[in-house]
Amino acid sequence: MDFRVGHFSRVPVPKAEDSLRAVVEKAPQAEAFAQHWLQKTQPIRSALYSARRRLATAGVVLLTVWLFLHVMFGANGMVVYRSKRAEYQKLESDIRKLQKENDDYAQQIKALQSDPKAIEKEAREQLHYTRPGEVVYVQPVPQKPATHAAQK
């Protein structure tokens, strides 16, 4: 590998005295421009200075209004917080209801596995089983009376 540096052309670098001399020569023009700018903006600056309290009060009021709106209606504001809280409470009540239902089913399963009376009760209700000599009466399902409302 060859790491030799090739020949560069020399760019003349100005001397520090030349740069300083150029700045000193343009200083009167810069001072004149600054003075002209100060005179031109004097009415605006004095108006702003005299209205500084009103401007500060208006700024604080705007900041307060923005903060209030952000806290109430922002992405994590009170409106969203309340809806999320209501949803959370509903889900908690659903969990409690389902847990109770689950516990009831667990008790029913345990009873069906070990209690002969529970087994007999389910067999009589679900499968319509009877003991010898018993008679089961089944009530017929009531039929709806036919209406002739569509014919009128």
Per-residue pLDDT tens over the stretch 23-62: 888 899 999 999 999 999 999 989 988 999 999 999 999 9
Percent of the chain with pLDDT over 90: 47
| pLDDT greater than 70 at residue 81 | yes
| Residue-range definition of the domain harbouring residue 116 | 77-130
Give the model's pLDDT for residue 21: 85
Judge contact between 124 and 118, C-beta under 8 A. Answer: no
Helical segments of 7-115, H only: 16-50, 52-73, 78-114
Is residue 10 in some structural domain? no
Do 68 and 89 lie in one domain? The reply is no
Q: Residue 100 and residue 106: Cα distance in Å, rounded?
A: 10
In the chain, the percentage of residues whose pLDDT exceeds 70 is 90
Mean per-residue pLDDT of the chain: 87
Residue 7 pLDDT > 70? no
Domain count along the chain: 2
End-to-end CA distance of the chain: 108
Task: Pick the last residue of a domain from 36, 51, 73.
Answer: 73
Joined together, the tokens standing for residue 32 give: 């004149």
pLDDT at 9: 65
Is the domain of 83 the same as that of 68? no
Backbone angles phi, psi at 149, to 5 degrees: -70, -30
Say whether both 62 and 94 belong to one domain: no
In a domain, 3, yes or no: no
103 and 67 both lie in a single domain: no
Residues 65 and 27 in one domain: yes
Question: Would you say 128 and 136 are in contact if contact means Cβ atoms under 8 Å apart?
Answer: yes
Model confidence at 114: pLDDT above 80? yes
| Cα radius of gyration rounded to whole Å, the chain | 47
* Domain boundary residue, one of 34, 52, 73: 73
**What does pTM read for this prediction?**
0.44
Tell me, what's the pLDDT at 138?
75
Q: Which two tokens stand for residue 123?
A: 């067999």
Using an 8 Å Cβ cutoff, are 78 and 71 in contact? yes
